[in-house]
Structure 1
Amino acid sequence: MTRSGEIKFEASMPAFEEVAAKNNTVSCIFDKSTGDIAVLALVKAFRFKVPLMEEHFNENYIESDKFPKATFKGKVINFDAAKVAAGKAAFDVEGDLTLHGVTKKVKTKITFVQSGEKLVATCNFKVKPADYNIKIPSVVKSKIAESVEIDLKFDLEKKV
């Protein structure tokens, strides 16, 4: 598990101001024996380079007072610790992503690498704000990508 995982997202469009943020306080629990994985991110913990963009993100788009958490609950399919011990190994992961009060199925790849005592998990996928009822005002619609790139990284430590 970890409480200091990282989620980055990128929704920038060429020739416009960068629309990107990072959250370094993401919790993740992974059970190697079952493949179950759960991720929790507090939405207000996303940090942008531009404070006004962060304010608009929380108040107008993601409505973080109303929807304070983003979660993923799923399963790493056929996780094999022996493959990870032998080096970098990728597996399918699927589950439910809940964002802005909407839950959708997500399926992607997750990569694991053993790094000393830690198991490092990385993953990326895309989501469309419209799929999660996140409304982008027409005045800025051309400045924000239709699909948002999400990158995750978790340095998982064994907990007893």
Structure 2
Amino acid sequence: MKKISLIIAVILLASFTTQGDKKITKTGTITLEASVPTFEEIKAKNSGVTCVLQTKTGDLQALALLKGFKFKIALMEEHFNENYVESDKYPKAVFKGKLENFDESKLSATFKEYTLKGKLELHGKTKDITTLAKIKKTGADIEVKTNFAINVTDYGIEIPSVVSKKVSKKVNLDCNFILK
């Protein structure tokens, strides 16, 4: 699994055509939540997300292996991988986008908001995403935080009718990356 992650990270890095400064992490986190009030929490965290930022252009890419999402309850994790995202067939989620008007020289220790536009590929489908990203500089590192919601139906993910009232069709994604 680590070998596959390394290969995917190398491919992700090689996909940038612009020569410029890059900041990267392989330990970014994405937390997903699809909870519905009055039912059991449906929440998972992936702490092995690769993210690359082209500091000269504002191009940002992130890759998450879906089997990297860890739930508190093993059965939820099994259902997530086998029944919902079908991680054997669709092993990864990829975001490719751009921070509008990004200028690394204007970053400081205080978060600044940028519009992040791009495409999220998940479960064999690709959809446009526009969200706000909060970015700050911490020493030589750049911290990027963003959160947005996706509709599972947009990605062809079906929720069985048996649990449809217990699982939200709108999944909140909270992303945090410290790029070095």
| TM-score category (smaller protein) | over 0.9
Whether the 8 Å CA contact 2:48–2:68 is kept in 1: the answer is: yes
Q: Does 1:139 align with 2:162?
A: yes
- Paired with 2:109 and 2:144, the residues of 1 have a C-alpha distance of 15
Q: Does 1:85 align with 2:114?
A: no
Match of 1:112 in 2: 135
Q: Does 1:50 align with 2:76?
A: no
Q: Does 1:17 align with 2:65?
A: no
Q: Deviations over 1:89-143 (max 9, x none)?
A: 1100111100001000000011111112211100000000011000000010100
Runs of 4+ in 1 over 4 A off after TM superposition: none
Match of 1:2 in 2: 25
Structure showing greater relative contact order (alpha-carbon pairs closer than 8 Å, 6 or more residues apart): 1
Query: Which segments of 5 or more consecutive residues in structure 2 lack a partner in the other structure?
Result: 1-23
Secondary structure at the residue paired with 2:30? strand
Q: Which range is displaced more, 55-64 or 138-147?
A: 138-147
- Aligned pair count reads 157
Whether the 8 Å CA contact 2:133–2:144 is kept in 1: the answer is: yes
C-alpha RMSD over aligned residues: 0.9
Secondary structure at the residue paired with 1:54? helix
Whether the 8 Å CA contact 2:109–2:138 is kept in 1: the answer is: no
**Larger proportion of strand:** 1
The one-letter code of the counterpart of 2:106 is: K
- Paired with 1:150 and 1:83, the residues of 2 have a C-alpha distance of 27
Match of 2:53 in 1: 30
C-alpha displacement of 1:154: 0.2
Q: Percent identity?
A: 48
Secondary structure at the residue paired with 1:141? coil
Whether the 8 Å CA contact 2:109–2:136 is kept in 1: the answer is: no
C-alpha displacement of 1:26: 0.1
- Paired with 1:98 and 1:64, the residues of 2 have a C-alpha distance of 13
Whether the 8 Å CA contact 1:83–1:89 is kept in 2: the answer is: no
Match of 2:11 in 1: none
- Paired with 2:109 and 2:29, the residues of 1 have a C-alpha distance of 25
- Paired with 1:2 and 1:114, the residues of 2 have a C-alpha distance of 14
C-alpha displacement of 1:82: 3.3
Secondary structure at the residue paired with 2:37? coil
C-alpha displacement of 1:86: 6.3
- Paired with 1:65 and 1:137, the residues of 2 have a C-alpha distance of 19
Query: Which segments of 5 or more consecutive residues in structure 1 lack a partner in the other structure?
Result: none
